[in-house]
Amino acid sequence: MNDNALDRADAAEEKVRQMTDKLERIEEELRDTQKKMMQTENDLDKAQEDLSVANTNLEDKEKKVQEVSFFFFFFFF
């Protein structure tokens, strides 16, 4: 009986070690995923800023084209 109890205790300890190892791997994966998510959020913020600047530049250029078109029409027609 005593040997059986020791065997069960050893098996339980091994199971705890396996579960602890698995938990550590999952926690590491979670940290990696969180880092990737933060980087993706930073990339998104940068892309949105770049898009905003590009849209502003486009609007400015469209206004200039309209001004040039107006003056061209006014002076040549």
Over residues 14-72, the pLDDT tens digits come to: 999 999 999 999 999 999 999 999 999 999 999 999 999 999 999 999 999 998 887 77
Please count the structural domains in the chain: 1
Q: Which of 16-19's residues contact partners 24+ apart within 8 Å by CB, and which partners?
A: none
What's residue 75's pLDDT? 74
pLDDT category of residue 1 using cuts at 50, 70 and 90: low
∠ CA 36-54-74, nearest 5°, is 170
pLDDT for the residue 72 = 78
Write out the residue range of the structural domain in which residue 10 sits: 1-76
The pTM (predicted TM-score) of the whole model is 0.65
